[in-house]
Amino acid sequence: MTRNTKNHVTNGIICLMIAYVALLPNFYEIYYQVNRFVLQWSPTSHAAILTAILIVAAICFATYLVGYAIASRVEKLKPFLLAGVSWLLYFVLLRSIINILHASGTFPDSVLDVLGKTWLKLLYYFALPAPFLLLWSQSFRKVSRNFYLLTSPILVMLATAPLYWTSQLPAFKGLDTIDSQAAKTDTPLPNLLVFIFDEWDYEVAFPDHQVLDGMPHLSALLEESTLYTDARSGGAMTATAMTRLLFQRNPDFLKKSYEEIYDDIYKRRDFDGPSIFAGFDNRYTKAMIGFYLNYPDMLGRDVDFSITMPVGGTLPFRESTVELLKTQGAFLRFVGIHLEGKKLRGEEMLFWNMVDPVHKLVMTILDRSTKPIVGIFHYPIPHDPFIYDRNGKKEHIDTTMDLSEALRDRDGYLDNLAYLDTLVGQLVQKLKDRGIYDQTLFVATSDHAWRLNADKGVYINTDEDPKPDSLWKHIPLIIHEPGQTEARRVDETFQMTTFYEYLEGYMNRAYPGGLK
């Protein structure tokens, strides 16, 4: 192999690594902490990533060959071309590091405001590497080249990923297999359906203790259900609220702190039972469907069906080579990165669309199960982004607000709440169409209140989670017991960590033997 050929091969590998590092923030969004334990590695996303890397690398290598030809003919330009290459290696790496730190929430808003300033971008993208390019150009280039070469085995790992990287999420059985061997029973048993609507806020939904105007389905439900006006969630955020609800039968688990629960989740430790499902036997179809938390790992032994939607559903935005390449258009903007608040764009709506797939799975289970259902269904609404109206996705989204404004948009929150009302209407109607509504314990509640509700002040995880009376734990709770026809109201405090106690009392009274 000649020296020139060896240089071309080496620089080809570096071009591949430049492309990989440039696209790394996009891969991070697929595999960041919220998604990593529910990631479903698809051939489509793998092919899209590899194709995008090859295209960006080909552009980089073509540019290198042009520069090499020019330097071979005009020797005086060679130092400038080499300095440009050195700067590119530095720029791409720094740009990706900043993007990932930004996407991970590592930077507070005050730091983002500073890093987004034009003068500071000029400093860290141009002025900072200038002395190295001018005074130590050869050493700077050598260190940069060696870094990219030493990390190049990552490309082999990425290319061969399907051989060893299977889905992190346990396989979800096809819904057509539900109750193929349904247990026979002469004992009438109720359905227990708990619908948890993420960030549903009592004060916003029930001003003056009346259901919000324009919510016909919730209003109709309340006319024959019990409204608990002082229901309190087990946690001030999803991870603590949901796990304390699911494992409330274990007193030791309820003693765990916010930090300990998060540590258990992200280190994928086993959750000690019994879970809330453990009291129901094979006379029931037991299902847990939701998002964000790794429900299959948590509950796999206690349920028949469990699935967690990755944040972004099937991540369609990241499964398109064209869309991945478009993200590199940031190079055409000033120094390739804007840290100001993001707008609600079309691709962001795709990235966040989980309501529809969760709802379709729930409706399918309600439609097909021949056995009574014990189900907990965690819906990502009225949680932001506020992209829904009563009929589903809005045709037009206000893109004039930055991200912080959009997350606190009360009108947008109410629009999402209107869609929640539509979903409740569809769920109730499905049960009535099947003739099982009067045999259903129907529970509509939330994991926690709207944490970005400006009326409640500043939210701090570690401060709010331990407080039993935290404002962010005040949630709606509507319970329709089988056959109930009159509206009731309970003003005493109801802790959701005692929900199983309520359930045991009700089942023992109305359905002796309904629990193990």
* DSSP string for 238-268: HHHHHHHHHTTT-HHHHT--HHHHHHHHHTT
The confidence score (pLDDT) of residue 299 equals: 87
Q: What is the DSSP letter of 474?
A: E
Strand, helix or coil at 207?
helix
Q: Closest Cα partner for 335 from 486, 126, 89?
A: 126
Bridge-partner residues for 286, per DSSP?
A: 374
The pLDDT > 90 percentage for the chain reads: 40
Measured in degrees and rounded to the nearest 5, phi and psi for residue 488 equal -130, 165
Tell me the pLDDT tens digit for each residue of 287-336. Answer: 999 988 888 888 877 898 888 876 654 444 455 787 777 777 655 554 45
Q: What is the pLDDT of residue 134?
A: 76
**How many CB atoms neighbour CB 95 within 10 A?**
20
Q: Where are the alpha helices (H) located in 397-496, listed in sequence order? A: 403-407, 410-433, 461-464
Q: Supply the pTM of this predicted model.
A: 0.77
| Angstrom distance (rounded) from CA 255 to CA 183 | 37
For domain 175-179+191-311+354-510, say whether CATH 3.40.720.10 is its number.
yes
111 has pLDDT over 60: yes
Confidence check: pLDDT of 338 > 50: no
- Are the beta carbons of 457 and 195 closer than 8 angstroms? no
382-432 confidence digits (pLDDT tens): 998 888 999 988 877 777 777 678 888 999 999 999 999 999 999 999 999
Say if CB 30 and CB 39 are below 8 A apart: yes
Q: Which residue has the higher pLDDT, 465 or 350?
A: 465
In the predicted model, is pLDDT for residue 135 greater than 80? no
Tell me the average pLDDT across 356-363: 90
243 closest CA partner among 287, 275, 290? 275
DSSP SS3 for 19: helix
Residue 168, pLDDT > 60, answer: no
The angle that helices 258-266 and 238-246 make with each other, rounded to 10 degrees, is 90
- pLDDT digits 0-9 by tens, 221-252: 999 999 999 999 999 999 999 999 999 999 99
Among the residues of 136-224, which ranges form H helices? 137-150, 153-159, 161-164, 202-205, 216-222
For the chain, the structural domain boundaries read: 3-164, 175-179+191-311+354-510
